[in-house]
């Protein structure tokens, strides 16, 4: 339901409320909506707007909450209320147009998307073309929709939503190779796009590549399960913000999903509360190593190896990254210092003895 787009609207608006508690409430509500808890956000926001009816940012967030809950008529009501006398902001209100489209109110949807198409900003214009494509799709005008999705992608080569719609059309038209290429690009841009992973599986299967199809399907399952787990853990953390077990679980889930930057940031959040924790430093080093940040990873592992007593589990990964960095002298020293912990040096396998030798 384009949750990322839903949050984009309000992030572009400066917070009008000056009271710090109100700002915190708006920030918390945004996180709730993004984290899959729009009901809780709605409860907070409605209570706030009852007290401060002029807070248009809160009103817009109520619209976002209803949008996430698929209550599009309510979403429209609050979007329009929050955008009164703000034509410039209305031009960026993608989810207002999307709500109208989903309600079958196509003329009103077009009134949002057409000005967006004409925007000077290339990205905003791309988004407007994509929105109009959705309108034509809803009216069963698939060729016109495809033309607009293609234009959206021409304007912004990273418009992954337009790519996804085009990939779906390619699958429908019996062009799995073209669909596969688009899905691969989407997953480069959005590694957690489970729809692209699922369609990649379908494309491989239609190309007769069973093994690749199975792997893509497993990737889809992993992404879907991981995103559900992150949503659940995010809700738990809001209830217990100092619970480091939850923080670690979030970091671990990002690691499993190969989201190295997010994993690193969550491990750092844990270490801020417990500086020097050897177990979490190991996970931090492993994350940096997986991300190809060998220089930084070596510093983390080296700090663990130099402790008294040393953390010998860090020796093998330290040697691995030092090998890629060409630090042969330090590797030799580590092998002498930790003969049991250090992995055996790679060498050519010995030839098998001939019979009778």
Judge whether 150 and 126 are in contact, CB under 8 Å: no
Angle 210-239/194-206 helices, nearest 10 degrees? Answer: 170
Judge whether 9 and 102 are in contact, CB under 8 Å: no
Answer yes or no: is 322 within a domain: yes
Answer yes or no: is 220 within a domain: no
**C-alpha 175, offset from chain centre:** 28
Q: 55's torsion region: left (phi>0), alpha (psi -120 to 50) or beta? A: beta
Answer yes or no: is 328 within a domain: yes
Answer yes or no: is 248 within a domain: no
Query: How confident is the model over 86-145, as pLDDT tens digits?
Result: 777 887 899 999 999 999 999 999 999 999 999 999 999 999 999 999 999 999 999 999
Count up the domains in the chain and report the number.
2
Q: Three-state SS for 83?
A: coil
Query: How confident is the model over 314-349, as pLDDT tens digits?
Result: 999 999 999 999 999 999 999 999 988 777 776 544
Answer yes or no: is 168 within a domain: no
How many CA atoms, within 13 angstroms, populate the side-chain half-sphere of residue 338?
Answer: 19
Answer yes or no: is 205 within a domain: no
E runs forming strands in the chain = none
Low-confidence ranges of the chain (pLDDT < 50): 1-18, 348-357
Answer yes or no: is 17 within a domain: yes
- The CATH number assigned to the domain holding 276 equals 1.25.40.10
**C-alpha 80, offset from chain centre:** 29
Distance CA 56, CA 21 (A): 16
pLDDT of 173 reads 94
Rounded alpha-carbon distances, angstroms, from residue 194 to 76, 184, 339, 347: 28, 12, 45, 42
Answer yes or no: is 113 within a domain: no
Return the DSSP state at 13. S
| Structural domain span for residue 279 | 254-337
pLDDT of 355 reads 42
pLDDT of 244 reads 96
């Amino acid at each position: 339901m384009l949750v990322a787009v839903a949050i984009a609207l309000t992030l572009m608006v400066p917070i009008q409320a000056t009271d710090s508690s109100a700002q915190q409430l708006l920030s918390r509500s945004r996180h709730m909506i993004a984290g899959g808890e729009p009901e809780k956000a709605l409860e907070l926001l409605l209570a706030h707007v009852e007290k401060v009816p002029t807070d248009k940012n809160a009103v817009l967030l109520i619209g976002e909450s209803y949008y996430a809950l698929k209550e599009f008529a309510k979403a429209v009501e609050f979007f329009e209320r929050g955008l009164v006398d703000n034509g410039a902001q209305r031009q960026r209100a993608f989810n207002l147009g999307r709500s109208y489209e989903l309600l079958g109110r196509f003329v009103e949807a077009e009134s949002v998307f057409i000005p967006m198409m004409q925007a000077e900003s290339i990205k905003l214009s791309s988004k407007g073309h994509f929105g109009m494509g959705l309108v034509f799709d809803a009216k069963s005008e698939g060729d016109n929709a495809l033309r607009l999705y293609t234009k959206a992608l021409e304007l912004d080569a990273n418009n992954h939503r337009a790519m996804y719609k085009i990939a779906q059309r390619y699958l429908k038209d019996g062009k799995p190779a073209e669909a596969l290429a688009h899905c691969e690009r989407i997953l480069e841009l959005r590694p957690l796009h489970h729809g692209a992973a699922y369609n990649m599986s379908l494309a491989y299967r239609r190309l007769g590549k069973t093994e690749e199809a199975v792997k893509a399907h497993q990737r889809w399952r992993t992404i879907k399960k991981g995103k559900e787990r992150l949503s659940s853990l995010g809700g738990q953390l809001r209830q217990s913000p100092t619970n480091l077990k939850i923080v670690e679980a979030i970091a671990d889930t990002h690691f499993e999903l190969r989201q190295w930057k997010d994993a690193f940031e969550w491990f750092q959040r844990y270490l801020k509360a417990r500086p020097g924790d050897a177990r979490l430093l190991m996970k931090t080093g492993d994350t940096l190593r997986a991300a190809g940040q060998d220089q930084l990873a070596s510093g983390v592992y080296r700090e663990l190896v130099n402790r008294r007593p040393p953390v010998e589990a860090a020796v093998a990964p330290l040697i691995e990254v030092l090998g890629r960095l060409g630090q042969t002298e330090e590797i030799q020293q580590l092998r002498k210092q930790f003969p049991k912990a250090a992995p055996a040096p790679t060498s050519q396998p010995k030839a098998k003895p001939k019979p009778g030798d």
